[in-house]
Amino acid sequence: MKAFSIERYGKHTGRLTEAPAPAVGEHDVLVQVHASSVNMLDAKIAKGEFKLILPYALPLTLGNDLAGVVLSVGSAVRRFKPGDEVYARPPQQRIGTFAELIAVREDAVARKPANLTMEQAASLPLVALTAWQVLVETARLKKGQKVFIHAGSGGVGSIVIQLARHLGAFVATTTSTANVEWVKALGADVVIDYKQQDFETVLRDYDVVLSSLGPDALAKSLDILKPGGQLISISGPPTPAFAREQNLSWGLGLVMGVLSSGIRRKARRKNVRYDFVFMRDSGAQLDELTALVESGIIKPVIDRIFPFESTAEALSYLEQGRAKGKVVITIEETIPPDAHPAG
C-alpha cells in the first residue's frame, strides 16, 4: 500500500513510499482510508519533538485523523462490519492515517456523521476530541462561564469556539485582522485582533483559558483569569500529572515537573490551576460529537484540500500558520466534481 512516512526525524523528511499492509488484531477494524487531515502534531512528531514521550519505531507512517470504509474486522469486534463508514483518531501508539489502509482498535472508532463527506469527517476527530476533553472533561465548563480561546481561526480553535458556545459559555478569542468577522460567525462573543490589541489588556475575570501557543502567551493568560480559574494548555509544558497518566518513567516525570514548574508556580500565586491536555482517542466521545455534528451544532471548517501525493505540501502549508480551520488530504478520490479546494 502507499503511505507517507518518515525514516528519520527532521523537518520535511516525509515522503510517499510503499509500506506493508497492516496486521489486523482481534479487536481491530481494517479501514480503507478515504481522507485524512494534517495537524501540527504531525509536524512536531516528524521533527522529533515528542520522541521522549512517544518513542515510535522508524520508519513511521504519519497521520492522526481518518475517515473511510471498514474492509474487515477482527474476531472480537462487535460494533462494526465491512462496509461501515467510520472516522477516528487512532491510538497514539498506532498512528498512521497517511496511508491507504490502517488497522484501528475498535473502541477508537465511531460511525461517520451521516451529513458529512469523507473530507469533512476526516477534518474532525483530533480537534473535536481535543475540544471535548478540554471543555467537558478538564474544565467541566458550565453555562454562563467565560472562556478565552487563543487562535480562534485555527483547526482546534474553530471547533472549540463552537462547542463552548453550545455549552452556554461566553466566548472570547484572538485572530488576525482579516479573520475577525469570520471568527465571530463561528460563535465568538468577543474577537480580539492580535495585530491591534493585546488580549491581556482587554480581558478580565475569565473562568477558563485554552492556550495552544508558546510560553509568553501562556504566562500572560494568567492575568485574565479570576481566582479559582483554570489555564489549560495543549502545547505544553507537560506536567508530572501527565507523566503519571502516560505511565512514563520516573525520570521523565521529573523532567516534566521541572519544565512546568515555572507556570505552575505562577498559577498557584494567582490561585489558578494549570493543566496540560494531550488528547487521546475515544470512539465513545466521537459518538457524542457525531450527534452534535448531525444536529448542526458543530460544523467542520476546512481551509484547503490536497491530494495524497501532495501530503508534504499540505504539511508545509499548515506550518505557515495561515490556515482557517483544517487542511485535509484526499487519499481515496471522493471529492465531488464541482468541489474545488479553497485557498
Q: What does the pLDDT read at residue 75?
A: 98
By three-state DSSP, how is residue 105 classified?
strand
Q: What's the pLDDT score for residue 246?
A: 87
Amino acid at 283: G
CB atoms near residue 74 (< 10 Å): 16
Written as tens digits, the pLDDT of the chain (343 aa) is 999 999 999 988 999 999 999 999 999 999 999 999 999 999 999 999 988 888 899 999 999 999 999 999 999 999 999 999 999 999 999 999 999 999 999 999 999 999 999 999 999 999 999 999 999 999 999 999 999 999 999 999 999 999 999 999 999 999 999 999 999 999 999 999 999 999 999 999 999 999 999 999 999 999 999 999 999 999 989 999 999 988 889 999 999 999 999 999 999 999 999 999 999 999 999 999 999 999 999 999 999 999 999 999 999 999 998 899 999 999 975 434 333 333 3
CA–CA separation, 268 and 197 (whole Å): 27
Residue pair 105/19 in contact by the 8 Å Cβ criterion = no
- Identity at 304, one-letter amino acid code: R
Paired strand residues for 70: 31
What is the structure's pLDDT at 181? Answer: 96
Residue 8 grid cell: 528519520
d(CA 249, CA 202): 42
Q: What is the predicted pLDDT for the residue at 109? A: 98
Q: Is 81 left (phi over 0), alpha (psi -120 to 50) or beta?
A: beta
Distance of CA 58 to the CA centre of its chain: 23
The pLDDT assigned to 333 comes to: 53
In contact, 233 and 275? CB cutoff 8 Å: yes
d(CA 322, CA 206): 27
CA distance linking residue 11 with residue 182, whole number of Å: 32
Q: Is residue 218 a contact partner of residue 211, using CB atoms and an 8 Å limit?
A: yes
Domains of the chain, first to last? 2-123+301-330 (3.90.180.10), 126-276 (3.40.50.720)
Distances (CA, A) of 292 to 67, 135, 282, 300: 17, 15, 16, 11
37, 43, 81, 305 from 318: Cα distances, Å: 10, 9, 34, 11
Q: Tell me the three state secondary structure of residue 229.
A: strand
